[in-house]
Amino acid sequence: MKVTQGVSKVTKLDAQLSVFSLGGINEIGKNMYVVEYANDIIVIDCGSKFPDETLLGVDLIVPDITYLLENSDRVRALVITHGHEDHIGGIPYIRKQINVPIYATRLTLGLIQVKLREAGLLANTKLIEITSDSKIALGGITSTFFKTNHSIPDCLGVVFHTPEGAVVHTGDFKFDLTPVNNQYPDIHKMADIGSKGVMLLLSESTNAERPGYTPSESQVGKHIEEAFHKAKQKVFIATFASNVHRLQQVIDAAQATNRRLALLGRSMVNVVRIASELGYLTLPDGMLVEAAEIGSLASDRVAILCTGSQGEPMAALSRLSRSNYRNVEIHRGDTVILSSSPIPGNERNVSKTVDHLFSLGAEVIYGSSSVTGMHVSGHGSQEELKLMLTLMKPKYFIPIHGEYRMLHQHRILAESVGVEPANIFILNNGDVVDIKEAAATQSRKVTAGNTLVDGLGDVGNVVLRDRKQLSEDGILIVFLLLSKTDGKILSGPDIISRGFVYVRESEDLIDRASILAADTVNRLQSGQEPLNQWNVLKMNVKEVLGRFFYEKTGRRPVILTIITEI
């Protein structure tokens, strides 16, 4: 690993170092970054993200990996920094298109295995377990790792040592100096990496807008235990299943208050199983209790750990709040804790859940976590981002993992600790930074974008545009039968609609439209020669009916005219 130190002017290769993202820049979600040197490509993370409400019917978004497919012979590895959905959620989809060895720590691999097994891809995927001490040499790139601290255990930052210098990817991190379960960040190792020289740093920007320092996860445990002590009946607590540190603190609070613990929600059950099997979660014997048994226990001897902290309509908490969960009920006087903050976009669903919980008579602990103490972020705030930049002392810097304003604020932070303004790159996904002889340039682009997963396949823009119009004003279908001989109407026009107007109340409207369509066709067909250009006929019917319905209803449905000739 002799070439890893600082700016390696000794190596005069024709090859260059290139770095870019295929997902994760100008967005939160679907992280995927690429480090490329000469003949070798290493991919970092393979995340998914959820569509917003404009992407009608889309289930999931994963990165467009056209570039990787075009260069598949050079892709050596997929390295995963940690087990969150925005870093591993795309694996089953991408794995169908490209099969490369996946490197990750033990817990991360455990979570990936669940996904691959569900997709029937586990047997044919090479999974390689690493630790923060591993060293992987693949062609011209040697990767080493350092431990970071985040809202899931077993997180890594990665150093890519190349003849052009070291590239550091932080993964997601905070600097929690009093972490749960000894998941300490590897500050000494980071300092050492920085001392030896970092050509390029990619660092996450999630909390770049937040001043100060993110509180320690261990602070949350105290508040949870206090609430468990105070509660006179059952306690329900909802949090992200993947936050194993939080789960540990809930388990500890249950033990301290002599309560047994039930788990609700598939992902909660899965994560607790995997994390305790792999030793990341300490679960006292006999603590767990089945949901069906809750009713038979004294109400002050049981706690329920569940999914749904974002108000997701199908998750456990939301169903409990609507009294719609088999075997488990929230009673007047029970305590419900939301150990979370709403992710932007989820505020309404969370509020609705709280409304329902109050209407059941529950004591609900919700709202700003700075007031309740029931949640802390897993991402470092401004002072922590500055600490990472200071430890790494990079020559070049790319803020990643954030929307534009976060990248922008991260840039300002980097400048404040001495990174040259001209050496900071605010990119889009697909923008390539090339480094050669210690000089970085950004001028070229590779294909990058969203692959929209709906059901089993992907969907395109035409389909989405149609769905949008259908969703707004519905569809109207006009069908008629024309004579082959003289082009006259044999049957119809008949009109049916969906999502447009309630037909029983609008029969008259539809009847008049039908007459109008017939008049239009008759007028066009009564010329010297009947039109056999159906497109013209269709266009005319569409135009006449479009105008008619807009006048009468103010709506613009999709209008389809179907003509059969006989």
Q: Does 66 contact a second copy by CB under 8 A?
A: no
- Total residues at the site for a second copy (CB under 8 A)? 66
- Work out whether strand 475-482 and strand 489-498 pair parallel, antiparallel, or are unpaired: antiparallel
Structure tokens at 448: 């990058």
Among 80-88, 188-196, 363-371, 510-518, the segment contacting a second copy (CB under 8 A): 363-371
Q: Which positions ≥6 away from 134 have C-beta within 8 Å?
A: 103, 143, 144, 145
Q: Does 481 contact a second copy by CB under 8 A?
A: yes
Query: Which of 405, 444, 512, 523 touches a second copy (CB under 8 A)?
Result: 405
Q: In whole angstroms, how close is the CB of 500 to a second copy at the nearest point?
A: 7
Cα–Cα distance, 553 to 506 (Å, whole number):
10
Q: In whole angstroms, how close is the CB of 537 to a second copy at the nearest point?
A: 16
Q: Which positions ≥6 away from 529 have C-beta within 8 Å?
A: none
| Tally of CB atoms within 10 A around 235 | 29
Site for a second copy in 533-562 (CB under 8 A): 550, 552-555, 558, 560, 562
Q: Where are the alpha helices (DSSP H) in 13-78?
A: 66-70
Q: In whole angstroms, how close is the CB of 566 to a second copy at the nearest point?
A: 6
Q: Does 484 contact a second copy by CB under 8 A?
A: no
3-state secondary structure of 343: coil
Residue 204 contacts residue 172 (beta carbons within 8 Å): yes
Spatial CA neighbour of 38 closest among 136, 160, 134: 160
Cα–Cα distance, 437 to 165 (Å, whole number):
9
Helix (H) or strand (E) holding 348: helix 347-359
Q: Which positions ≥6 away from 74 have C-beta within 8 Å?
A: 36, 39, 40, 41
3-state secondary structure of 195: helix
Q: Does 88 contact a second copy by CB under 8 A?
A: no
Q: In whole angstroms, how close is the CB of 475 to a second copy at the nearest point?
A: 6
Query: Which of 14, 52, 486, 529 touches a second copy (CB under 8 A)?
Result: 52
Q: Which is nearer to a second copy, 314 or 456 (CB)?
A: 456
Query: Which of 344, 418, 421, 527 touches a second copy (CB under 8 A)?
Result: 344
Q: Does 359 contact a second copy by CB under 8 A?
A: yes
Q: Is 535 marked within a binding site?
A: no
Query: Which of 156, 238, 302, 354 touches a second copy (CB under 8 A)?
Result: 354
Among 177-185, 293-301, 360-368, 376-384, the segment contacting a second copy (CB under 8 A): 360-368
State which amino acid sits at residue 203.
Answer: S
Q: Is 376 marked within a binding site?
A: yes
Report the catalytic residues: 204, 379
Spatial CA neighbour of 402 closest among 205, 174, 201: 205
- Give residues in contact with a second copy (CB under 8 A): 26, 52-53, 56-57, 209, 344-345, 347-348, 351, 354-356, 358-359, 364, 366-367, 403-405, 408, 454-457, 459-460, 462-464, 466-475, 477, 479, 481, 490-492, 494, 496, 498-502, 505, 550, 552-555, 558, 560, 562, 564, 566
